Structure 1
Amino acid sequence: MTVQVLLPGALAGLAGGARHLELQPDGGTLADVLDALAAEHPVLCRRIRDETGTVRRFVNVYVDGEDVRYAGGLRTPVTDGAEVQVLPSVAGG
């Protein structure tokens, strides 16, 4: 199975400048995708997940356009060819 991970410019620097990553996770959940991402880009993954492995509060993750907070969190199914988009929240005034 192959999954595309899409990163904004703010996170691309932590993946060697790549904004599109192709991963082959061992399983079919978001947790499996993030585990594969951590194996290749551990610093990037630490910006996405906290020390308990949970997606950080101010990071939004979408699988094929669906917010994982409402689709099962880390158990969200990820199928072959899926797009996983990672977007850090923007704050300020």
Structure 2
Amino acid sequence: MSAKSSAAIRYTTLRLAIFIGCFLAVGGLVQIGALPKGLGDSNFVWVVLLALLISAPLSFVLLRKQRDAMSEQIVTKVDHTKARLEANRSQEDGAVQ
């Protein structure tokens, strides 16, 4: 497994863990009555939306290092791909002349 995919997997796993933690916390607070329940049968949707709303800024702040590492590895991979394409293009240009 390449370093890029492991950084992406690590970031995604941590982001999902933060969401699940927020989902469980919001669900628990709704069940004990600390937060209002959704209208009718919308309780699950309410809990999911609230968990998303809370987990997004938490992920942004808490996962900065992982996001930067993943971004750096993606940029490196893109730069290598661009260099390889440029090398192929220059080889083709030389063969055509």
The verdict on a shared fold, with TM-score over 0.5 as the criterion, is no
TM-score, length of structure 1 as denominator length: 0.24
Question: TM-score, normalising length from structure 2?
Answer: 0.23
Structure ranking higher in helix proportion: 2
Q: Which has the higher strand share?
A: 1
In terms of Rg, which structure is larger?
2
